[in-house]
């Protein structure tokens, strides 16, 4: 469903835009987002939930890629939005995202963040712990506000994924454990708060998950919990939020399901396990991030130097690296790439793609089959739409790249490239030191 193809000139084209022209217009490194593919993914979720017949909200997890244009697009597609900080909230509000469809996450929301969200009229807080519960009640009471909450629970399900990004197991910094009674106690306390409306519970079992079993097991455990609070505390969950985590294909061998298959699996499990607990089935909310934007993103780099170590390895360096994509260094994530200005040329050698940071760990791809790359060639790395721009840094004071949306032969800048003055915008040289320098 993506709009990428190789055109007659042998150049990669995305959304009808030739990447050599995008380089001429915007420079490199450049994040290119296939707008049609993002919209398609949003619609896959909405259509699959509509087909299930259950009430639902699809909240785009903006941590994957939070910029104002993306918030607008998510709103246009009828999604809700998950934010985890005042910065993501501010981005959404400035983009005019309807605040009643914004959900505020995080295990350590500050009093300032809570105030900002209540003042804005936030749709819902996902409460992580008892300290937050009492802080939220106190701030809401002081403002005379009533706020909707979900309680984040850990159902004790460990998804098969990289251990750094598993969050559903018992030993987790997030949420109330269902298994040891702390979630039950939290429901009891939350239901007693006069300024909080307890809508239900939230569970997120991990990220980049390929199987449905983990989600189905989480639904079963959450339903068992719902039954126990219904019986013991007479509390009904009107909403069950199952988080994000649906995987995508980064490289050959990755075998994610279709969005519709994930949705059918979880809605089916809800119908099975929640039957008869309350008079009606709960609304199902989900929070996909990666699967909305991941495969729609491509990063375009210009090849610079190379270093051949005969019999060992050839390093080919590009003009970005861990500053625009920290995932290989952080998680050993794998990516595929092509020479985008000579996309029909046959691969003739195995090379490893290095970034330009002053650090040996700054490698983007190991052992990639490529035609012999010359300085000035363009390298396109696929599937960089999620957790790339949003995790980019200014390490080595490298400027963060621009982001463009492409569709129907048109490109629109949605984030401009940082300037040298952006790099020092927050620097202050105290006068005492400035004087010494003279």
**For the chain, how are helix, strand and coil distributed in percent, rounded to 5?**
35, 25, 40
Cross-strand partners of 284: 56, 240
| 335 marked as binding residue | no
Residues 150-169 that bind ligand LLP (CB under 6 A): 165, 167
Q: How far, in Å, CA of 182 to CA of 175, rounded?
A: 9
The one among 23, 39, 41, 204 contacting ligand LLP by CB under 6 A? 204
Nearer to ligand LLP, 315 or 395 (CB): 395
Residue 339: what are its φ and ψ, rounded to 5°? -80, 110
Nearer to ligand LLP, 40 or 314 (CB): 40
Angle formed at CA 203 by CA 199 and CA 209, multiple of 5 degrees: 145
DSSP letter for each residue of 340-406: TTSTTSPP-EEEEEE-SSSSTT-EEEEEEEES-PPTT-EEEEES-SSSSGGG---GGGPPPPEEEEE
Size, binding site for ligand LLP by CB under 6 A: 20
Query: Alpha helices, DSSP H only, in 53-94?
Result: 68-76, 86-94
Residues 222-261 that bind ligand LLP (CB under 6 A): 243-246
| 287 marked as binding residue | yes
Segment holding 44, helix H or strand E: helix 35-52
| 262 marked as binding residue | no
CB 82: neighbour CB atoms within 10 A?
30
Q: Which residues of 125-157 are buried (b: 16+ CB within 10 A; e: fewer)?
A: bbbbbeebbebbbebbeeeeeebbbbbbbbbbb
Provide, rounded to whole angstroms, the least separation between the CB of residue 162 and ligand LLP: 7
Cβ atoms of residues 403 and 33 within 8 Å: yes
| 288 marked as binding residue | yes
Residue among 17, 42, 71, 358 flagged as catalytic: 358
The verdict on whether 124 is a catalytic residue reads no
Cβ atoms of residues 334 and 365 within 8 Å: yes
Residues 1-60 that bind ligand LLP (CB under 6 A): none
Is the backbone peptide bond immediately before 302 cis, with ω within 30 degrees of 0?
no
The one among 156, 256, 288, 385 contacting ligand LLP by CB under 6 A? 288
Q: How far, in Å, CA of 402 to CA of 379, rounded?
A: 16
The one among 41, 103, 290, 342 contacting ligand LLP by CB under 6 A? 290
Provide, rounded to whole angstroms, the least separation between the CB of residue 5 and ligand LLP: 27
Provide, rounded to whole angstroms, the least separation between the CB of residue 345 and ligand LLP: 31
Nearer to ligand LLP, 138 or 165 (CB): 165
Nearer to ligand LLP, 164 or 180 (CB): 164
Residues 325-364 that bind ligand LLP (CB under 6 A): 327, 331
Provide, rounded to whole angstroms, the least separation between the CB of residue 289 and ligand LLP: 3
Nearer to ligand LLP, 107 or 228 (CB): 107
Provide, rounded to whole angstroms, the least separation between the CB of residue 346 and ligand LLP: 32
Site for ligand LLP contains 385 (CB under 6 A):
no
Binding-site residue positions:
245, 287-290, 327, 331, 359, 387
Write out the catalytic residue numbers: 358
Residues at the interface with ligand LLP (CB under 6 A): 61, 64, 82, 105, 165, 167, 204, 207, 243-246, 287-291, 327, 331, 387
Numbered residues of the known binding site for substrate: 290, 327, 331, 359, 387
């Amino acid at each position: 469903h993506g709009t990428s193809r190789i055109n007659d000139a042998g150049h990669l084209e995305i959304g009808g835009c030739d990447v050599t022209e995008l380089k001429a217009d915007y420079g490199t490194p450049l994040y290119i987002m296939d707008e049609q593919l993002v919209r398609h993914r949003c619609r896959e979720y909405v259509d699959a939930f509509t087909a299930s017949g259950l009430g639902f909200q699809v909240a785009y997890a903006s941590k994957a890629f939070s910029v104002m244009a993306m918030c607008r697009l998510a709103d246009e597609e009828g999604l809700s939005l998950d934010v985890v900080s005042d910065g993501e909230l501010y981005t959404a509000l400035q983009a005019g995202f309807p605040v009643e469809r914004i959900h505020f996450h995080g295990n350590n929301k500050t009093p300032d963040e809570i105030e900002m969200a209540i003042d804005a009229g936030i749709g819902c807080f996902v409460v992580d712990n008892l300290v937050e519960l009492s802080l939220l009640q106190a701030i809401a009471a002081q403002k005379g506000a009533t706020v909707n909450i979900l309680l984040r629970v850990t159902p004790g399900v460990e998804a098969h994924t990289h251990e750094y990004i598993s969050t559903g197991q018992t030993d987790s910094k997030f949420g109330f454990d269902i298994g040891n009674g702390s979630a039950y106690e939290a429901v009891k306390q939350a239901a007693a708060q006069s300024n909080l409306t307890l809508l239900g519970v939230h569970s997120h079992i991990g990220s980049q998950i390929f199987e449905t079993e983990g989600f189905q097991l989480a639904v079963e455990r959450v339903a068992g919990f719902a039954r126990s609070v219904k019986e013991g505390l007479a509390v009904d969950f009107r909403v069950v939020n199952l988080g994000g985590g649906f995987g995508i294909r980064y490289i050959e061998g990755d075998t994610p399901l279709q969005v519709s298959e994930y949705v059918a699996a979880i809605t089916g499990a809800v119908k099975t396990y929640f039957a008869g607990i309350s008079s009606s089935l709960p609304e199902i909310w989900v929070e996909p991030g990666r699967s909305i934007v991941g495969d729609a993103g491509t990063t375009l780099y210009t090849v610079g130097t190379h270093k051949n170590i005969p019999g060992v390895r050839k390093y080919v360096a590009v003009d970005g690296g861990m500053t625009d994509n920290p995932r290989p260094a952080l998680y050993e994530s794998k990516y595929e790439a092509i020479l985008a200005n000579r996309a029909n040329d046959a691969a003739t050698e195995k090379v490893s793609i290095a970034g330009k940071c002053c650090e040996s760990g700054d490698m983007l791809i190991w052992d990639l089959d490529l035609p012999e790359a010359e300085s000035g060639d363009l390298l396109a790395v696929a599937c960089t739409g999620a957790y790339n721009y949003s995790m980019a840094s200014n390490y080595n004071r490298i400027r963060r790249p621009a982001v463009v949306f492409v569709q129907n032969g048109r490109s629109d800048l949605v984030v401009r490239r940082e300037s040298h003055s952006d790099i020092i915008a927050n620097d202050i040289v105290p006068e005492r030191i400035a004087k010494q320098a003279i």
